[in-house]
Amino acid sequence: MRCIQRFLRKRGELAFQRKWAKDFSANKDKVLEYWRKYRYLEQIKRICQIGPAVSVLDVGCGISSVLFFLEARKYGIDILADKYKQFFEYPFPVGALNAENVDFLSDFDVVFCTNVLDHTENPQAIIKKIYGITRNYFVLTVEVFDHHQKRDVCHPQCFTRWDIYTMLAPYFTIVFEAESDWIGLYNYVRGRMKIWGKELILILRKR
């Protein structure tokens, strides 16, 4: 059953990203606007002191990675990267690794993980592995709910704020926290401003 669920998640994500690639390429300015307005990009860059000499990893980068909007030494990983490269060209290195394999990578000054944890089977293990490769900061964006609920095959996890705090506590200290309306990049680019819930944005310092 788990193998079937993993297959369905990958197929669903690939179908979405294939559709999203053209819209993203034509609307990077809108995506940047979203990152600044709803995901506090300028505060992230300032607090994490991101610049040309800083190494940054995006775990589960997808197509529209934050790396497009950073001046840094950049690297992304995504389990479907080889598939994405068949229809999308990245301007920075992207490896075909899943979040569970990040411990094979070298240390990075800053690690991003944006709306990835709820797609995974063992989010606590992924946080521990990110802790192992992060020199300084971990920037986490995750959808949060007031109570647990069943979602869909692409989102096997459902987190409350306290779930996130509990998983992070052994490894990281929160240095910045914000909550934004969860609209979604795809919807924002298309002018659909329906609010689906809340996103929690955290800048965390390694303990």
Q: At residue 78, does pLDDT exceed 80?
A: yes
Mean predicted lDDT score pLDDT of the chain: 92
Which of the four pLDDT bands, split at 50, 70 and 90, describes residue 55? very high
DSSP codes of every residue in 66-132: GGGG--SEEEEE-TTHHHHTTT---SS-EE---GGGGGGSPPEEEEEEES-GGGSS-HHHHHHHHHH
What pLDDT was estimated at residue 65? Answer: 98
What pLDDT was estimated at residue 99? Answer: 82
- Distance of alpha carbon 62 from alpha carbon 58, whole angstroms: 9
Tokens, residue 172: 């990281």
* 189 vs 8, residue with greater confidence: 189
Phi then psi dihedrals of residue 116, to 5 deg: -115, -40
Tokens, residue 76: 């992304």
CATH number at residue 26: 3.40.50.150
Which of the four pLDDT bands, split at 50, 70 and 90, describes residue 3? very low
Q: Quote the number of domains for the chain.
A: 1
Of the candidates 199, 185, 195, the one whose C-alpha atom is nearest the C-alpha of residue 29 is 185
Q: Which domain holds residue 198?
A: 2-206
Q: At residue 34, does pLDDT exceed 50?
A: yes
What pLDDT was estimated at residue 118? Answer: 92
pTM of the predicted structure, to 2 decimals: 0.92
Of the candidates 109, 90, 135, 127, the one whose C-alpha atom is nearest the C-alpha of residue 45 is 109
Q: At residue 76, does pLDDT exceed 90?
A: yes
DSSP codes of every residue in 33-82: HHHHHHS-HHHHHHHTT--TT-EEEEET--SS-GGGG--SEEEEE-TTHH
Of the candidates 116, 198, 112, 201, the one whose C-alpha atom is nearest the C-alpha of residue 157 is 116
